[in-house]
Amino acid sequence: MGVTLKESSCGTLSCVELLGEVESLAYQLDYYIKKETGMTFDMKEYELGESWLNITSVKQEEKKAVEVVVGREYAAVASTYANCYVQCNDGHRALQLYEQFHRNLTQPDLVAFVCTLKACTSLADLDYGQHIHSDIIDSGLEGNVVIGSSVIDLYIKGYSQQEHYEKVLQFLDQLQREGLSPDSVTFNSILKAYTSTGSVEDCRRAHMDIMECEGFRPDGIAFLCLLSACSHHPDLVERGCLHFKSMVDEYHLEPSVEHYNTLIDIFGHANCLNQAEDLIETIPFQKNSTGWTSLLNASKNRGHVNLGKRCFNQLMRMDPKNTASYVLMAGLYAQAGMLEDARKLEEMRRRTNGWKKPAKAFIEIDREVHGFVVGDQAHPKKCSCG
């Protein structure tokens, strides 16, 4: 074989570095796959922005590539393609590749385990994820921090609220028995996962019962997760304010603009728009378009025209070409029956060259990807749609 694969040291890498290693491995395999299969492993990232590879090309190349390699090289090739499928949001195909490891009597490597766990998480396939977790234990890789974070994410998103909290505690205990101490990044990933499930109480318990009992002081990211959890529930304004106050007074952390904007979002969801406006006018950040846009959106949802005007004026001072501002304000006018004002706002948008980015679609024809923009009449592959 014409490619020499160096021993992986992924056990201590961050997730971003891990993906970088996978990409590097793909380039190392490029020559070999071209030579043995006659196919091209094209690492070009198409404008779709959702994957490294066109999914159709991946499937065609992967089928030939995995047939011509065995042993350690098979694990490397299959793991690389499994990662591509995860990036292409094709978790089912990633799981099929994992099954081929067993059929070929090949031991999956760290990359294969991580990618397959992510596929199970995206598919909400907890049963298969537990099967992979069992394989990880047998392989001796359970103590790896990257794998540990992936397993935690799987359990948090896969179990019901009552069950998954205990499962996370059990897994953290297992990490400690293996002689590993979860770091603050792991704990923050737990908080983020709880936030994504909308479980405010479990998010609070993870903060109080896990982080502090393990000797970790919550950082700014942890508090941002707590505030985000409160923003999903209009009746948790007081709790969100208490978390914010605790961050400043008890933990002596300096709030970032993201913390303030999340608190503004909490006020907006709870229809406490006056408090939100007071807050945004007093925070130590001069140009906070995100906060004013959030408040404008809340004004639109609640039908507060005058407050919406004040938000819109602030946004115009910062960026008179901000399309979102025009759209939200015009929507507010329309909801209030102020159609003439909405029309004038549209004229103002046109005069200031505010514009919406036209929608773009892609299609593959004869292994060539074509991009189409709404209103495009010049593309040679355009078709008449009546």
User: Cβ neighbours of residue 223 under 8 Å, at least 6 residues apart?
Assistant: 243, 244, 246, 247, 251, 253, 259
Q: Tell me: the pLDDT tens digits for 181-210?
A: 666 666 776 677 666 665 666 666 666 666
- Say if residue 196 is exposed, middle or buried (CB neighbours under 10 Å; 0-12, 13-18, 19+): middle
Residue 216 has a pLDDT of 72
Q: What is the mean pLDDT of residues 83-87?
A: 74
Q: What is the 3-state secondary structure (H, E, C) of 213-246?
A: CCCCCCCHHHHHHHHHHHHCCHHHHHHHHHHHHH
Residue with more model confidence, 119 or 191 = 119
Residue 47 pLDDT > 50, yes or no? Answer: no
Residue 343 pLDDT > 80, yes or no? Answer: yes
Show the beta-strand stretches assigned E in 251-299: none
Domains of the chain (ranges, CATH numbers): 1-165 (no CATH), 286-356 (1.25.40)
Decide the pairing of beta strands 360-365 and 368-373.
antiparallel
Q: What is the mean pLDDT of residues 74-95?
A: 74
Q: Tell me: the pLDDT tens digits for 4-43?
A: 334 444 444 444 444 455 545 554 544 444 444 443 333 3
Q: Tell me: the pLDDT tens digits for 278-297?
A: 999 998 887 889 999 999 99
For 206-219, b/e burial (b = at least 16 CB within 10 A) is bbeebbeeeebebb
Q: Which two tokens stand for residue 295?
A: 């408040």
Residue carrying the six token digits 């953290």: 172
